[in-house]
Structure 1
Amino acid sequence: MSDRNYTSLKWRVHARRHPSAFLLAAQLLSMLAYPLFEPSGGGRVVFGAFGVLVLALAVWVVNRSPAIKWIAWIIAVPAFVLSVLSVLFASPDLLIASSALEAALYFYAAGSLIAYMMSDHRVTADELFAAGATFTLLAWGFAYAFLVCQAWYPGSFIGAERPGEPRTWLELLFLSFTNLSAVGLGDILPISPAARVLTMFEQLAGVGYIAAVVSRLIGLTILRNDRP
């Protein structure tokens, strides 16, 4: 077997064993790439391209979890199409529609991964990757929900810089991560009733996820390590 074939086989084995790791890596890479292109105005295009990749990986991971697969495809197909069209044509309406569908898909994928992690009493390496991927899926899902909220209710969010302008995608994602993790830095604030309701739902999701899922994985890992 040649080195190329061996490397390809090794990556396929890793992909089958740890699909959640690839999803988590794609999400983290997209966050690293976005600030590099945002000053030149290409940030949305880059993030949109990564978004299409993440959507594909999310559906792939859902297909490997005990979820209803056809629901993921019903959400994913129009989300794929609208996401690509919103990048190509820079249309605000297409962006809002694709954001709503992407939020729905990320929430569904997060729920599927939670069901996958809760389905047995054995903690695998992929379940640990799934814990990180689920957190980022929830953060992205709420960030897209914030984007839709801002479009429907202008002025829903205010920031320390440029307070009268709409928040950028990266700012809303930053708000989502700080809110979900209960850090709450407070330089971006929800001020409309709809935005505050969404924020409260995300806070509840973050606390519930840590309490029900992460603590369970930690407890099972400790029990496994304590066994003789």
Structure 2
Amino acid sequence: MSDRSYSSLRWRVTARRHPSAFLLGAQLLSMVVYPLFDDLHGGRVVFGAFGVLVLALVVWVVNRSPANTWIAWLLAIPAFGLSLLSVLLDSEMLLVASSALEALLYFYAAGSLIGYMLSDHRVTSDELYAAGATFTLLAWGFAYCFLVCQAWYPGSFTGAVEPERPRQWLELLFLSFTNLSAVGLGDVIPLGSTARVLVMLEQFAGVGYIAVVVSRLIGLTILRQPH
């Protein structure tokens, strides 16, 4: 077997064993890349491309978890199309519609990964990657909910910089991460009732995820260690 064939085979085996690691890596990479293109005219297109990649990886991971794949595709395919059309046509309405579908897809994938992690009493390395990927999926899902909320109820969020303007996507994602992780940084603030309810739901989800899923993985990992 040639070196190229061996490397390709090894890559496929790794991808099958650790699909959650690819999902987690793609989402973290998109966060790093987006600020580099934020001030460019084509920055939104670049981030849209990363969004399509992440959505494809979401479906890929769900396909390897105990979930119905057709539900993921039913959400992913129109989300793909509306996301691309919103970029090409510069349509705010299409962006809101695609954001709503993406939020549903991320929550569905997060639930599928949680089911995957709770399905047995053995902790694998992919389940540890899945723990991180699930956290990012929840953060992305709530960020898209914030985006939809802001479009439906203008003035739902304010911030320390230019408080009167609508919050940008990265600001809402930042709010989602700080809220889900209970860091509590307050430079982006929910003002409307709907926005505050969404923030409270995310706080509840973050506490529940740490208390139920992460603590279980840690406990099983400790029990697996030889004494």
TM-score where L is the length of structure 1: 0.98
Residue identity opposite 2:7 in structure 1: T
Residue equivalent to 1:147: 147
Residue equivalent to 2:102: 102
* Identity value in percent: 78
> How far did residue 70 of structure 1 move?
1.5
Alignment deviations for residues 101-150 of structure 1 (CA, whole Å, 9 cap, x no partner): 00000000000000000000000000000000000000000000000000
Aligned twin of 1:71: 71
Structure 1 counterpart of 2:209, one-letter code: Y
Deviation at 1:4, TM superposition (A): 1.7
In the other structure, the counterpart of 1:118 is 118
Q: Which residue of 1 aligns with 2:61?
A: 61
Unaligned runs of 5+ residues in structure 2 are: none
Instruction: Tell me by how many angstroms 1:45 deviates.
Output: 1.5
Gap runs ≥5 in structure 1: none
SS of the residue aligned with 2:39?
A: helix
Residue type matched to 2:71 in 1?
Answer: I
1:133 maps to 133
For 1:202, the equivalent position in structure 2 comes to 202
Quote how far apart the aligned CAs of 1:44 are: 1.9
Q: Per-residue deviation at 1:41?
A: 3.5
What is the letter of the counterpart of residue 126 of structure 2?
D
Q: Distance in 2 between matches of 1:69 and 1:46?
A: 27
CA distance in 2, matches of 1:66, 1:119: 9
2:45 equivalent to 1:19: no
Aligned residues: 227
Could you tell me how far apart the structure 2 residues matched to 1:76 and 1:156 are? 27
CA shift, 1:14, in A, is 0.6
Offset, 1:8: 1.2
Question: CA RMSD for the aligned pairs?
Answer: 0.8
Q: Find the aligned partners of 1:159 and 1:43 in 2 and give their Cα distance.
A: 22
Equivalent position of 1:49 in the other structure: 49
Scaled by the length of structure 2, what TM-score is found? 0.98
Query: 1-side partners of 2:211 and 2:113: how far apart?
Result: 16
Shift of 1:178: 0.1
- Give the whole-Å Cα distance in 2 for the aligned partners of 1:176 and 1:55: 18
Matched to 1:49, the amino acid is A
The separation in 2 between residues aligned to 1:95 and 1:88, in whole angstroms, is 11
Partner SS, residue 40 of structure 1? coil
CA offsets per residue over residues 161-195 of structure 1, 9 Å max, x none? 01000000000000000000000100000000010
SS at 1:27 equivalent: helix
CA distance, structure 2, for counterparts of residue 173 and residue 42 of structure 1: 20
Deviation at 1:99, TM superposition (A): 0.2
Whole-Å Cα distance in 2 between the matches of residues 121 and 86 of structure 1?
44
Q: What whole-Å deviation, never above 9, does each CA across 1:21-46 have from its counterpart, x for those lacking one? A: 00000000000000000012333212
Q: Distance in 2 between matches of 1:42 and 1:165?
A: 22
> What one-letter code is carried by the residue in structure 2 that aligns with 1:135?
F
